[in-house]
Structure 1
Amino acid sequence: MHNVFGTGYLVTDIARIHGGAQKVVYKIDCRNGFACVLYVWDLSRNYFREEIMNDSGSVFQGSYGGGLFAMNNRCFRQHGIRTPALYDLNEGRDRHPFDFALVEYIKGQKAEAYFQHEDPKVRDELFHRVGSMLSNMHAIERNHHGNADSNDESNDRPCFEVQRKHAEKALAYASEHMAGVRENYSVLLDKLYELEAGIEPRDRYSFIHGELGPDHILIDHEHMQPYLIDIEGAGFFDLEHEHSFLELRFGDFYRYLRNTELDDRRMIFYRYAHHLSLISGGLKLLYRQFPDQQFAKSLAEYHARRAIQMASGGSS
């Protein structure tokens, strides 16, 4: 803090902010009234470290570490997409075996806190604002997918094939740890292939967050402006990947975010792939001692039911 801001920034309190599965987050308060956030990318405290070490934990080219955070922070802010400012990033690992960063503290709540807001007008205005921000972000396009700084246009493997391979691994893991998935493994896998087969290739990709639930949007209390957080996994990909996830996570509030120009086949395919991924993700959190064990268990069980329902011909 002294090196970045000066000797006048005397730390008076450091408080752990709970909830993250891939990095450790702290709020830092100073005597002069200043506050900021400390991000620590400590692989030993990451619930998905096995996947990161095997480079198979994301549909993008990795979604972990200070370098990706800095890259996406720069891209978001250059395009006017609100995300907390990056004050300082240390990737030297000379004193510690991890990256860490000091980031702007946004005083407010996550977007999910406004689902039941007492004033419908405030709620409507806020989620229309969120929808406008996402539309602006998704309007950033290019002709190849991957990370924001990637200039490799030689990768002609379609996004849906990348997602399918990820879903295959997720399904294989889930079948090892959940009886219901194991009993329906062949049906679930066949459905994945069936949905993929109906998709036509494309050559335009949108800039997406990659895991955008209402818990990854902070609302500035003073100005009621949305800020995107947990941005390491952002990149250029099929827009339907984002919207199918938004639809899952926002429920009725997805009406504020809806895009009427999406490919229906891609939407169904990605929705199904998300179910498979979230079964696996919930199980990994459960067996790797994530603090909220009930959440992890419920996550896996809910998405297993939804995936089996889709694979059996029922509504998603």
Structure 2
Amino acid sequence: MKFEAHLTSEQLQNYVAKVFGAGYRVEGIARLHGGAQKVVYKIDCTNGFSCVLYVWDLSQNYFKEDILNEPAFQQSYGGGLFAMNNRYLRQRGIRTPELYDMNRDRDWHAFDYALVEYVHGQKAQAYFQEETTVRHELFQRVGDMLSEMHAIERDVYGAADYSGSNDKPCYELQREHAKMSLEYASRHMVSVRDNYSRLLDKLDELEAAIQPRSHYGLIHGELGPDHILVDDQLQPYLIDIEGAGYFDIEHEHSFLGIRFGEYYRYLENNNLDTNRMAFYRYCHHLSLTSGGLKLLHRNFPDQSFAKGLADYHSRCAFEWKA
């Protein structure tokens, strides 16, 4: 049987047999849509087993230009980071699909690829419309898992394997990123260009209110309801974990507030720094404005989504209220 994938049918079968054994025969493969950072396929075998093939093909990444220009310290893309964070999270009891095998040989292909556990279920966003008891149970579990993860701390920020020191506060890095996002948006949106100075002044004002700290929690880095899989036992699993690391947990919570909306109430933490929350939320609005425009310009399949993303978050920045 022929498969349309990054690997030929023969390469895929050999890879599956090498990892799981000769009794695993591939009978079908289907591309799972929705990701902007890596290509994902579901693999079904004749013995009823299913798994997932992840492919980190930079040529099919909608943020290729940003990744190539990103400082090594801040990178959040690639099979190496996925393997490290998968091991790091699972060792600390944070649920994420098991990594069966990672191939980084680059012998036949110019990309990393891996076989990963297939979680039978839906993404957390499907439970927004679920009946109250089930929704409450699930999001309470998500909240508990995040509380446990954020409580894992150390005194330097950065990737899980980073062992150096920090020469500037982490929020300064976020400000630099937000400023680049604002500059990009100002080149493509008249409304942003006309309000550039006002938006930049607000960014400076919010940053100035932050007091330094020397402890950081373990965060996912881009956690929306589409980055949580829920199995048939109502257990949540974190996915797209390449950007996980240590940072201000307010960075995560401000993003959760945007992505989960009214359901963020299940995830709230009452011990957060309000100045950091305001600063990071504003940064997210600028970043998502720029991100939506980049998807729009780089032929992301859902163009209406990309435009809506940029328009909505630019309005949030214009109408900012902490």
Q: Structure 2 length as normaliser, TM-score?
A: 0.94
What is the deviation of 1:248?
0.6
The 5 A counterparts of 1:81-92 are: 81-92=94-105
SS in 1 for 2:51: strand
SS in 2 for 1:15: strand
Q: Which residue of 2 aligns with 1:206?
A: 217
Moved over 2 A (4+): none
Equivalent of residue 167 in structure 1, options 154, 178, 190: 178
Q: Which residue of 1 aligns with 2:43?
A: 28
Q: Does 1:259 align with 2:269?
A: yes
For 1:219 and 1:63, locate their aligned partners in 2 and report how far apart those are by CA, in whole Å: 24
For 1:12 and 1:179, locate their aligned partners in 2 and report how far apart those are by CA, in whole Å: 51
The 5 A counterparts of 1:1-316 are: 1-55=16-70, 61-117=74-130, 119-153=131-165, 155-221=166-232, 223-310=233-320, 315=321
What is the deviation of 1:268?
0.2
SS in 2 for 1:115: helix
What is the deviation of 1:267?
0.2
Aligned residues: 307
For 1:220 and 1:139, locate their aligned partners in 2 and report how far apart those are by CA, in whole Å: 24
Deviations 1:50-87 (A, max 9, x none): 0111115x9x6200000000110011100100000000
SS in 1 for 2:129: coil
Deviations 1:144-198 (A, max 9, x none): 0000011112x13101101000001000001111111111111001110111011
- The one-letter code matched in structure 1 to 2:155 is N
5+ residue gaps, structure 2: 1-15
SS in 1 for 2:74: coil
SS in 1 for 2:246: strand
For 1:61 and 1:181, locate their aligned partners in 2 and report how far apart those are by CA, in whole Å: 26
For 2:147 and 2:54, locate their aligned partners in 1 and report how far apart those are by CA, in whole Å: 28
Q: Which residue of 1 aligns with 2:13?
A: none
Q: Structure 1 length as normaliser, TM-score?
A: 0.96
For 1:123 and 1:195, locate their aligned partners in 2 and report how far apart those are by CA, in whole Å: 35
- The one-letter code matched in structure 2 to 1:125 is E
For 1:39 and 1:157, locate their aligned partners in 2 and report how far apart those are by CA, in whole Å: 35
What is the deviation of 1:122?
1.0
For 2:53 and 2:242, locate their aligned partners in 1 and report how far apart those are by CA, in whole Å: 15
For 2:107 and 2:191, locate their aligned partners in 1 and report how far apart those are by CA, in whole Å: 47
SS in 1 for 2:159: coil
For 1:37 and 1:217, locate their aligned partners in 2 and report how far apart those are by CA, in whole Å: 15
Deviations 1:199-244 (A, max 9, x none): 00000000000000000000002x1100000000000000100000
